[in-house]
Amino acid sequence: MYQKSLALGFLAALAGVATAESDVHQLTGKTFDEFITTHKDQLVLAEFYAPWCGHCKALAPEYEEAATSLKPKNIKLVKVDCTEEADLCQKHGVEGYPTLKVFHSLNNVKPYNGQRKADAIHSYMVKQSLPPVSLLTKDTIKEFKASDKVVVVAYIAADDKASNETFTAVANSLRDDYMFGGINDAAAAEADGVKFPSIVLYKIFDEGKNSFEEKFDAEAITKFIKTAATPLVGEIGPETYGDYMEAKIPLAYIFAETKEERDTLTEDLKPIAKEHKGKVNFAVIDAKQFGAHAGNLNLKTDKFPCFAIQDTVNNKKFPFDQEKAVNYDNIKKFVKDFVAGKVEPSIKSEPIPEKQDGPVTVVVAHNYDQIVLDKEKDVLLEFYAPWCGHCKALAPKYDQLGKLYAESEFKDKVVIAKVDATANDVPDDIGGFPTIKLFPAGGKEPVTYSGARTIEDLIEFVKENGKYKAAVSVKEAGTEEAAPAATEKKEAKKEEKKEEKKQEKATDEHDEL
């Protein structure tokens, strides 16, 4: 972030204007609403940040660059220091840093869902400023094609109401990600070698464009766009990882330590990626910066380059033998076998315990189905990490909970269990630690717990969501009487807030996928 003199910073904060050094407007609780109202006919992107936040520091130069590039578009970028303007940040629901929100007005606010790079911010905000579908002519289509890395143009006759409605619906659903244009000019379509009705995705990479000439169906069009817009061999990083996960397509990782090596492997493996496009996504990953992620794919973290495929839907890992070279011939065969279902997934698991001594049943990958998916029992499972502060704080309470059920009439119907999700492959979607889920007897879908981490609340959760409606009493079980629920919840919240602050700062210092 640019350093400003105290006087300039103070004046900018009061006035709500950008300084001579910056095109980003610094706002306060006194100036924010007025600024948004004054610019009600313009889009405003607001960043809510904390000066100590590592992610905010990394975003700062990108945000500044985007602010400058968006000036000609009359789109404003502002920022708010939440350590100074706590009430304003709380009013806008800020829970982490940085939080970015798009203001069409004070009453029309949407979360910013783009990447945190200057060109991505520019592209996202331009898309937000446009209608879902821009009506094009033979005079404007050339400029539109060059306006972003990926644009989607529909060539549809003006009287084809059904096709126009279908395309507009898709554009509305994907407008955060892509720019959409429509053209009804038959001469312009003919000049581009396109027939009515059809869709062409133009891009600045790979083959340059892809065409959709099938029957107009929203689901088919959406799949075509997402597939065609994904580079044959992309790059995995904090900004793109989520997109690859959401694609619901197996992801092939190419780990390499140097840019030269990544570029070489990209060119070598691109024909394989093209052959399996739509079935497997390929991407390189910087092994120097994110090499630890190889361990999550059951690869060694000290031997690069290496290769692995992840089934992102079922969270299964298929590491390529690290004793073999990562080259065209070897990877072509491996990927072909994977697509044909001939490659067995690698399962990381701790040894199955010889006996279960404690009040909490220990689950590992190799006994997961046997214990967790037991249709005769309600199973409460904690997914934890050994380093997690929240997990350590929960441990004695969770042990006590296990003891309560083990000594109750429900000992053969309710299982209190835990699994180290860093040492065992689990099929579940884990957003953080600890994650607690109840797997009701009868094979129903698991229910994720989101309440306070008190014994009373966990018991109530099992009672409400389990098949057996099992409830136990803390006092009747002979354990020490706990603090009143309200007090315990309050204290638990305080401890969670402290731990979250520590974790947030630690994460900011070391950005992870």
Question: Catalytic pick from 82, 89, 306, 388?
Answer: 388
Backbone angles phi, psi at 5, to 5 degrees: -70, 155
56 classed as catalytic = yes
CA dihedral of residues 106, 111, 20, 61 (deg, nearest 10): 170
d(CA 372, CA 439): 7
Question: Catalytic pick from 53, 82, 89, 306?
Answer: 53
Name beta bridge partners: 255.
285, 306
475-505 burial, b for 16+ CB within 10 Å, e for fewer? eeeebeeeeeeeebbeebeeebeebeeebbe
What the block records as the tokens of 332 is 């072509």
Residue 309 CA, chain-centre distance (Å), reads 19
Q: Confirm if 324 and 310 have CB atoms less than 8 A apart.
A: no
Nearest Cα neighbor of 129 from 92, 188, 179, 83 is: 179
Dump the DSSP string for 438-461.
Answer: EE-TTTPPPEE--S---HHHHHHH
Single-letter residue type at 308: A
The strand ranges marked E within 30-161 are 44-49, 76-81, 99-105, 108-111, 134-136, 150-155
Question: Catalytic pick from 82, 89, 306, 391?
Answer: 391
Name beta bridge partners: 378.
414
Range list of H helices, 230-291: 241-246, 259-275, 287-290
Residue 104 CA neighbour count, 13 Å, CB half: 10
Q: Is 9 helix (H, G, I), strand (E, B) or coil?
A: helix
391 classed as catalytic = yes
Question: Catalytic pick from 56, 82, 89, 306?
Answer: 56
Nearest Cα neighbor of 97 from 82, 114, 117 is: 82
Residue 372 CA, chain-centre distance (Å), reads 27
Active-site positions read 53, 56, 388, 391
